Amino acid sequence: MSLTVLPSATGAVDDAEAILGRQAARESAARTYARSLPIVPVRARGMTVEGADGRRYLDCLSGAGTLALGHNHPVVLQAVRGLLDSGAPLHILDLATPVKDAFTTELFASLPEEFARDARIQFCGPAGTDAVEAALKLVRTATGRGGLLAFTGGYHGMTAGALAAGGDVDARAGLGGTAREPVRLPYPYDYRCPFGVGGPQGARIAARWTASLLDDPKGGVEPAAGMIVEAVQGEGGVIPAPDEWLREMRRISSAHGVPLIVDEVQTGVGRTGAFWAVQHSGIVPDVMVVSKAVGGSLPLAAIVYRGELDVWEPGAHAGTFRGNQLAMAAGGATLRFVREEGLAERAAQLGERMLTRLRALRCLLPVMGDVRGRGLMIGVEIVDPQADPDPLGARPAAPALAAAIREEALRRGLIIELGGRRSAVLRLLPPLTMTDEEAETVLDRLGEAIHAASAAGRPGEAARPAAVARPAAARPAVAAPREGASRRDIPRQDTPR
Ligand SMILES: Cc1ncc(COP(=O)(O)O)c(C=O)c1O
């Protein structure tokens, strides 16, 4: 394969394979995306990423949900350039600046009004996990309690407290109990209902279990400092919480005087079809954790919380990197653009259309066990169609097949990632600026990839389902076609599950 040669930073000539080879030799064994996506991006615009080998990819990972406006959006670039040219300081600890003031004003304007009215903000170290740590410290300080209520399947980051709050025991294995274990409560998961019931009834039982556990004086649960929850679990497998269940969590936590922390790190800034995911249910949290898209592609994280909780001492949560001016400029511009252009509404509509088409595809491709999501946070759970279903009809997860689909998607010029309990959920997190045509191309490529990977595992099943096949002339000669072609051969009629 011939590769485009690029000048490296040192002036030497490198190619993509050499760069990948040096990465493998030099970088940590803990590297993640770099393993499943062996490409060397050199340019990116919107949802298109161009690799050093000249191939183009449609990026449905978006920096793990960070790039609400896609790569290098003009309003983001303008905000960054404007700050660079202005002579303003780039690093200034947590001092007040006009840039920070404008960012905070824009952020507060985006929050539910009742919450914003009396809110405080604490800027944290630059990652989502730093803000989660701050949230835990805040509620522990304010309540004088130590315990935490957290949910099955939750993900809140990789530092000690955030890791403990998450549901992934593998991620904590071997760390010797670095942080206090939370009380684990059931998160509704319709497809694999922990109570074997599913639907609204499954969610009602999950809420009832939480209520009874906290009400029971001999239930073994100490009064907690906080309850931490995602309105849509991302890493847990793209699982939207029913609005009614979330309202119940609000009611129960209030009844017990437990501050409710909603982790909006991944769901915020229009991603789920509302500016903030809490707005679907109408609940008002006590603490909101924000990061990813709020920095407009650059690192920024904060907690926003009710003024009443603001009882920690000066310096209680210090940190050198709490004043990232470039991120505040980029983030402020992003928040404004999402608001002015109605991109949350756009995400709701486009997401619904994509879900409809994916559900139709599911009827043709039985490896697609479940299709779910909210807005432009979409998941497809891949299962083994040969295995026996459970009483609710769900078949066992098929992580190896999901990984093969990710690989086939990459070959077709589509970047997706996996998530979920057993890494068997294909996750789509495209930018909110994705065009209709791009959305169609994403679904075409995804359908092709799912079909190719599932047929590859079964000799004799080379025939493509008619609805997935497209006319030979429209099929790309190379694995990763240039963007732009619109193919509309996957049916778009909704078909009930
Ligand atoms: C809901 C949620 N909380 C917290 C985090 C941690 O953010 P970071 O990776 O920036 O530390 C993530 C990351 O994916 C997340 O999805």
Pocket test for ligand 1, best of 31, 163, 239, 292 (most atoms within 8 A of CB): 292
* Cα dist from 23 to 39, 105, 259, whole Å: 11, 41, 44
- pLDDT classification of 177: cutoffs 50, 70, 90: low
Report the separation in Å between the CA atom of 291 and the middle of ligand 1, taken as the mean of its atom positions.
Answer: 8
Pocket test for ligand 1, best of 130, 262, 265, 377 (most atoms within 8 A of CB): 265
Confidence (pLDDT) at 164: 87
At the topology level of CATH, where does 43-65+348-474 sit? Aspartate Aminotransferase, domain 1 (3.90.1150)
CB 152 within 8 A of CB 192: no
Cβ(151) to ligand 1 under 6 A? Answer: no
On the question of pLDDT at 461 being above 80, the answer is: no
CB atoms within 10 A of CB 94: 14
Selected residue with higher pLDDT from 464 and 403: 403
Q: Residue 421: what residue type?
A: R
Report the separation in Å between the CA atom of 347 and the middle of ligand 1, taken as the mean of its atom positions.
Answer: 21
Cβ(271) to ligand 1 under 6 A? Answer: no
Cβ(325) to ligand 1 under 6 A? Answer: no
Give domain 76-340's CATH number out of 1.10.620.20, 3.40.640.10, 2.60.120.10, 3.40.50.11610. 3.40.640.10
- pLDDT classification of 175: cutoffs 50, 70, 90: low
Q: What is the DSSP letter of 475?
A: S
CA dihedral 127, 66, 107, 311 (to 10 degrees): -20
For the sheet with 41-45, list strands across it.
41-45, 48-51, 56-59, 414-415
Pocket test for ligand 1, best of 288, 291, 297, 425 (most atoms within 8 A of CB): 291
How far apart CA 210 and CA 219 sit, in angstroms, is 11
CB within 8 Å of 421: residues ≥ 6 apart: 153, 192, 236, 237, 397
Confidence (pLDDT) at 296: 97
Cβ(64) to ligand 1 under 6 A? Answer: yes
- pLDDT classification of 463: cutoffs 50, 70, 90: very low
Cβ(264) to ligand 1 under 6 A? Answer: no
Cβ(268) to ligand 1 under 6 A? Answer: no
- pLDDT classification of 6: cutoffs 50, 70, 90: very low
Phi, psi of 278 (to 5 degrees): -65, -20
Q: Look up the pTM and report it.
A: 0.90
Report the separation in Å between the CA atom of 324 and the middle of ligand 1, taken as the mean of its atom positions.
Answer: 18
Cβ(125) to ligand 1 under 6 A? Answer: no
Cβ(454) to ligand 1 under 6 A? Answer: no
On the question of pLDDT at 338 being above 70, the answer is: yes
Name which of 367, 382, 368, 395 is nearest 423 in CA terms. Answer: 382
- pLDDT classification of 167: cutoffs 50, 70, 90: confident
- pLDDT classification of 176: cutoffs 50, 70, 90: low
CB 327 within 8 A of CB 63: no
Write down the domain spans for the chain.
43-65+348-474, 76-340
Report the separation in Å between the CA atom of 358 and the middle of ligand 1, taken as the mean of its atom positions.
Answer: 26
Mind listing the pLDDT tens digit for each residue in 32-80? 999 999 999 999 999 999 999 899 999 999 999 999 999 999 999 999 9
Cβ(156) to ligand 1 under 6 A? Answer: yes
Pocket test for ligand 1, best of 61, 124, 129 (most atoms within 8 A of CB): 129
CB atoms within 10 A of CB 162: 26
- Looking from the CA of residue 162, the nearest atom of ligand 1 is 4
How far out from the chain centre does Cα 248 lie? Answer: 24
Query: Helix (H) and strand (E) counts for the chain?
Result: 16, 19
How far apart CA 391 and CA 303 sit, in angstroms, is 42
Confidence (pLDDT) at 244: 98
